[in-house]
Structure 1
């Protein structure tokens, strides 16, 4: 009985389960495989014009008036209108806007996840090294904004020692580091977080695109622009490096749009009179604004449905990986045991967000491209499965060795004893820690929003970008997750009590 698991058939069980997993994964991986380096084919534009493929446009719909969402969850804004018009003029039949954080747009182009980046992107020499740009479609430039009550910041020099809110991955970050290194940068993910940080006193100023800042002032008030434009950068649409067909088609359509007057109409629709210097007072609003939830109930429920789907599939996958990992770690075969040990060590020893980004952004460079939904579920399943692995291993090892010896002395085979004696007892001991792990998985599901999955948290962020009502929306989302985790906890407790009679 020195190595009792060698008698239980762990090796055979593990090998069978691993083979089944590889058999299931191989077709999916084959179906999603694409070249590691995006190489647009000569027939790409022909397929787009024929409607055989869809033009995927990456955008961060949280930067009004360029791109944001209405109460129904529909993406609207200046960039959205312009891209639709340009695509129509270029003969492209189908256009899909893919929501993603601004900082993920360039990596997504490099990974062949999208065809175009349209999110008020500044044309810069640094970005031009990895993506191609269209002709200038709108004059941008950075602007500095402070609270209307702030009279201490009157120039760039006054930002020394001050907290300045900037959006991650934007031109503002590098420009401030070069031109005002004494400023303390407060880097946030979304546009609304920048302006809110000033209104809440978390930052002294905002440095961002002047058009977006002026739009916020027009809609919300409470801020003012300090001086004129800090820079003279301009906006352009980004394309995969070497994808000249789509870029040239967009450039030709842009000239047509500008000469026909359609571009001027779109600009006037979203920016209005840009010569006005009026700032307007801050809008009065209550602490909680239930209308922010009720007006967007449809998108929120769709986001909740996606969240539940992610949780259910990830939970099933974590159980599969956990059982495979647990059996592998108990195997007497050293190679299989080594695989189980490495899996647990690597996955538990690295942050979940790093694993998620690796699967979604890095794997395409190795030839394996997964959809956001598949990447998110796979990452959650792998991460949670590493913890389930230890739960399974610990539960099985906790069963007294005498149980197997007694079963064998009664004439039962190793497989039969394992199935009818060992596993049932181990399962009962797994229940409490499994319940805790599934609660953790449910909370971690919000992180898949970083790979553009429109689950509940991402939908909430897009609502905040339009309403700037972070308190109400985050309280609602927190309440939903609180209910979900308590339902899982109560279900686990109920099963545990039901099965307690067999202990």
Structure 2
């Protein structure tokens, strides 16, 4: 039961992280290429960062059916985690963008790179490496926020631990086990970030 919940939590977190980062990159590129759109993107990011995740999850799962949009619990959880964390990822990319030396961008312009080509060929790699530690922290937050999906009956790790303690009346053992497994997932992310940074240093 615990292993089933662990696998579900891992899958949800991995999918939500990948989708959130892709959406954040699209928001970031849109803001760079179209200045009027940058204000709308900034307003959307600020709004999302000011709303508690639990409230946003309720809105997606219980609110959307009022507009004839019904999602099953697993899909609602993934969509909620994706949209909510895309705002944070986009803000982290914006903060990393400020730290990129302007001379590097001017050099890209000198070689004829503009817009999306400039972002893909010149900016993305240093941007990603600068933002990587904070992106890793936000990924860990996604793993922890996935525990909130228990309230919409997604059978993730916290749900499995709760079912286990309700069946066998071992709350301490089941919840400590779940806590250690969350810690393990977070350690995997932390190890991946550190390994990537070490590899980048070796390349330099």
Query: 2:173 aligned with 1:472, yes or no?
Result: yes
Tell me which of the two structures has the higher relative contact order, counting C-alpha pairs closer than 8 angstroms and 6 or more residues apart. Answer: 2
Deviation at 1:364, TM superposition (A): 0.3
C-alpha distance in 2 between matches for 1:413 and 1:356 = 41
C-alpha distance in 2 between matches for 1:468 and 1:333 = 58
Q: 1:393 aligns with which of 94, 118, 134?
A: 94
Q: 2:53 aligns with which of 330, 352, 358?
A: 352
Query: 2:15 aligned with 1:302, yes or no?
Result: no
Matched with 1:485 is 186
Deviation at 1:400, TM superposition (A): 1.6
Deviation at 1:398, TM superposition (A): 1.8
Instruction: Give the alignment's Cα RMSD to 1 decimal.
Output: 1.6
Which of the two has greater strand per residue? 1
Q: 2:114 aligns with which of 390, 400, 414?
A: 414
C-alpha distance in 2 between matches for 1:319 and 1:413 = 23
Correspondences of 1:100-115 after superposition (within 5 Å)? none
Q: 1:333 aligns with which of 31, 35, 48?
A: 35
Deviation at 1:350, TM superposition (A): 0.7
Query: 2:147 aligned with 1:446, yes or no?
Result: yes
- Cα distance change of structure 1 residues 419 and 502 upon mapping to structure 2, 3 Å threshold: farther
Unaligned ranges ≥5, structure 1: 1-298
Correspondences of 1:171-186 after superposition (within 5 Å)? none
Deviation at 1:458, TM superposition (A): 0.6
- Cα distance change of structure 1 residues 417 and 323 upon mapping to structure 2, 3 Å threshold: closer
SS at match of 1:413: coil
SS at match of 2:70: coil
C-alpha distance in 2 between matches for 1:370 and 1:329 = 30
Deviation at 1:355, TM superposition (A): 0.4
- Cα distance change of structure 1 residues 497 and 358 upon mapping to structure 2, 3 Å threshold: same
Matched with 1:316 is 18
Query: 2:163 aligned with 1:462, yes or no?
Result: yes
Which of the two has greater helix per residue? 2
C-alpha distance in 2 between matches for 1:345 and 1:418 = 23
Q: 1:343 aligns with which of 41, 44, 58?
A: 44
- Please say which structure displays the higher CA radius of gyration: 1
TM superposition score normalised by structure 1: 0.39
| Number of residue-to-residue matches in the alignment | 203
**Alpha-carbon contact 1:307-1:445 (below 8 Å) kept:** yes
Correspondences of 1:101-500 after superposition (within 5 Å)? 299-334=1-36, 336-409=37-110, 411-415=111-115, 416-500=117-201
Unaligned ranges ≥5, structure 2: none
C-alpha distance in 1 between matches for 2:16 and 2:90 = 15
C-alpha distance in 2 between matches for 1:329 and 1:418 = 12
**Alpha-carbon contact 1:303-1:459 (below 8 Å) kept:** yes
Residues 230-254 of structure 1: CA deviation (Å, up to 9, x unaligned) = xxxxxxxxxxxxxxxxxxxxxxxxx
TM superposition score normalised by structure 2: 0.92
Moved >6 Å (runs of 4+): none
C-alpha distance in 2 between matches for 1:346 and 1:405 = 33
